[in-house]
Structure 1
Amino acid sequence: MSENLTGGTSITAPGSAPLVQKEAPEPSKWHDTFLKITQGNAIISVLAVLLALIVGGIMIAFTDEEVQTASKYFFARPGDTIAAVWSAVSGAYIALFQGSVYNFGAPTFARGIRPLTETLTFATPLIAAGLGVALAFRIGMFNIGGRGQMLMASAAAGWVAFSLDLPWGIHMIVALLAGLIAGALWAGIAGALKAWTGAHEVIVTIMLNFIAFYLISWMLRTPGLLQAPGSSNPKTPPMKDTAVFPELFGPQYNLHFGFILVIIATIVVWWILSRSSLGFKFRAVGENPHAARVAGINVPSMYIIGMLIAGALVGLAGVNQVLGTITTGFSADIDAGIGFDAITVALLGRSTPWGTFAAGILFGAFKAGGFSMQAAQGVPIEIITVVQALIVLFIAAPPLVRTIFFLPSAERDQRRREKARQKQLKAEAGAVAK
């Protein structure tokens, strides 16, 4: 056996001329690029949304009265049913687009762009809470306590906003810091219990959700705490103007300064995870806490620090609710399910900062456009919730998505290459034997 000038290997059999074992051809750069795209996580997220929209369209068609009427005589006039299905599904999704991105029927551009600002307004707390859940995921922790952290942050920021008299700007900053600290401390309880006692964060955060809800409910019914003076309703007084987030584009839009804050938060989380030593430690603990401990990383302190930061991010969502969205006073349902929706946002964003940011905007569009679908086409708003749940289902089952769209997987491609190599070796061995 010897090397030849072509870079292959010469195999010499007794009494025969040397045979050349050819190297397997290298895949082209286009093939490598195609595999990177089809085997990546981003394409799975996109296709999961597409599949959910397809299934949502099927449900819209089944619930439409015109489709149901036309289907009764489907075999006599199938075109009527097909036309009714197209009208129902296309009308619903056009209404979704016009209610979340741009309304083409508006008389002016300023009115037409209003749906996009509503989408960003709905997305603001979703992004903040999603970042908190995503950061915990990267440390190997499942932060399911978004509701409790939002409630505590809302209570702290709200109390500062309606009870203290401070100058404009300073009042807003103090209320913001109070909310961030409250959310961080509430999440830090779960981090500390996991670090010191090994308690599972899922159970701890679920219990903290209940504690926060009933604690805030009691405070809202107790005069002198959160309840508005002279009122018997479990609701706070309105926030003072000096503490409310300023509007970004004027009173005709609901978008406020909170959206700028979540952009800053996204950049900060990206820097922590990608550019700082703390982020490296977070990722190491999330990948393998035992190996991280051997490498000298203080794993318990990473759990505590990580949950403190995650809680502050979720707390930012609560602050956005009381200082930017519901400034007339809030009740115990101030979280509006955002704490749990944040889990979906983080999953769709693959626990990356900018992926979570994009996923939050998508879900904000669903929320803003869902009302338009219901008003314009009579589509049940619950279908949007089903679509969101289906997105999570498909994201949790990448092999299913790959199978539906016939996408190659890394394992399948590796097996194919190995089979080709084995076949080539057998053929060359047979040639040598002859």
Structure 2
Amino acid sequence: MAKRYMNILIPLIAVLLGVIAGAIIMLVSGYSPVDGYASLWNGAFGELYYTGETIRQITPYILAGLAVAFAFRTGLFNIGVEGQLIVGWLASVWVGVAFDAPKFIHLPLAVIAAALAGGLWGFIPGFLKAKFRVHEVIVTIMMNYIALHVTNYFIRTVLSDHSDKTDKIHDSASLAFSDAMQQMTDYSRLHWGILIALACVFIMWFLLEKTTKGYELRSVGFNQHASEYAGMSVNKNIILSMVISGAFAGLAGSMEGLGTFGYASIKSGFTGIGFDGIAVALLGGNTAVGVIFGALLFGALKVGALNMPMESGVPTELVDIVIALIIFFVASSYMIRWFIERISKKEGK
């Protein structure tokens, strides 16, 4: 079977197996799988409001997934997307609160500030990896906690008067829809950030697949020694990969700061979006287009799960189990691939 079709088939089988396993767990727990999944669908797409909320949830997932996928395609494991997202969130709100300007200036500045902050947070592990061969997984995990507590400190002492959250950003820095547009989705929190996320999908695809620099980045990820022998700067490409990955993550933070909430608040724990981005990238096969479908699935599951206890009595924790099972089956892709290949060989005889 062609590798391209295999890469599409394996995630689909993983999702199907996860859904089936979730149905079995519902049955064992005394719930109806049909009612449970029906309420999940209704909570994600049953009404205009829910559809708008699902797309809103998909937006940061796309960018977080791109951040993980971009690093992986270049041979790196960026587990620090969560921290890069948090600093990007803070930077965008900081610009949105600090001054007022025409929207065509203020909004791009706030978005760019988020990308720069995330890129800077990605630069540090990239530099340490390139210069001292410090493993990026360890550094990025540690920097998640640094980002969480540093941003909390700035919110409490710099951006507010010992309050738990900042002021609302100015309208000129907001990604929110106008009232007329909000009516179209029954006043959901859907915002213009979805267009930025889709533009970033195109940027990642174009950069990696259609440019010389993208070829260099992928080559370094495949084989550093061969790339260095070919005259490529391995160290510079490692740093650049982490900076671009961090920029995507920072933009994911700006979607929350400038779109969904319009402010930054003290966080007692991580948002979870950055960690979910790992699963989104994994499910999407670490491709730009695949990330969209991975984000769509996770966004629908997260938003639709909120309706399950009310409509069918199924606890939301069961959706977390389904998500975990899907990730498990995707991670077990070797077994799925082996099974498919055995079936293909039998049919070929």
Same fold (TM over 0.5): yes
For the 8 Å contact 1:318–1:335, the answer to whether it is kept is: no
2:29 aligned residue (63, 85, 104): 63
Question: By how many angstroms is 1:331 displaced?
Answer: 2.5
1:42 aligns with 2:8: yes
Q: Which residue of 1 aligns with 2:165?
A: 235
Match of 2:42 in 1: 98
Cα distance between partner residues in 1 of 2:226 and 2:248? 28
Match of 1:53 in 2: 19
Structure 1 distance, partners of 2:347, 2:232, is 40
User: Quick one: which of 274, 299, 313 aligns to 2:209?
Assistant: 274
Structure 1 residue runs of 5 or longer lacking an equivalent are: 1-34, 68-87, 104-111, 421-434
- Residues 147 and 338 in structure 1, CA contact (< 8 A), matched pair in contact too: yes
Partner of 2:114: 179
Q: Any conservation in 2 of the 1:38–1:407 contact (CA below 8 Å)?
A: no
SS at 2:262's partner residue? coil
Q: Is the 8 A contact 1:322 1:330 kept in 2?
A: no
Following the alignment from structure 2 to structure 1, what is the Cα–Cα distance between the partners of residues 51 and 318?
A: 21
**One-letter amino acid of the counterpart of residue 151, structure 1:** I
Q: Which moved more, 1:206-215 or 1:262-271?
A: 206-215
1:250 aligns with 2:216: no
1:238-259 deviation per Cα after TM superposition (whole angstroms, max 9, x unaligned): 1111111031732523211100
Q: CA deviation at 1:303?
A: 0.6
Rg comparison, structure with higher value: 1
Deviation >6 Å, runs of 4+: none
**For each residue in 1:313-353, what CA deviation from the matched residue of structure 2 results, as whole angstroms up to 9, or x when unmatched?**
00010000100001154222695200100000000011100
- For residue 233 of structure 1, report the CA deviation from its aligned partner: 3.2
Provide the rounded CA distance (Å) in 2 between the counterparts of 1:335 and 1:258.
21
Residue 58 of structure 2 aligns to a residue in which SS?
helix
Contact 1:180 1:316 in 2 (8 A): yes
Q: Specify the SS of the correspondent of 1:408.
A: helix
Structure 1 residue identity aligned to 2:135: H
CA contact (8 A) 2:148 2:270 kept: no
Q: How does 1:119-158 map to 2 (within 5 A)?
A: 119-158=54-93
When residues 56 and 38 of structure 1 are mapped into structure 2, their CA distance, relative to the original with a 3 A threshold, is: farther
How much has 1:416 moved relative to structure 2? Answer: 10
Map 1:347-386 to 2 at 5 A. 347-386=282-321
Unaligned runs of 5+ in 2: none
2:159 to 222, 226, 233: 226
Answer yes or no: is the 8 Å Cα contact 2:122–2:246 preserved in 1.
yes
% same residue = 37
Q: 1:316 aligns with which of 227, 251, 270?
A: 251
**Contact kept in structure 2, 1:185 and 1:311, CA below 8 Å:** yes
Query: Whose RCO is larger (CA < 8 A, sep 6+)?
Result: 2
Alpha-carbon distance in 1 for matches of 2:129, 2:342: 36
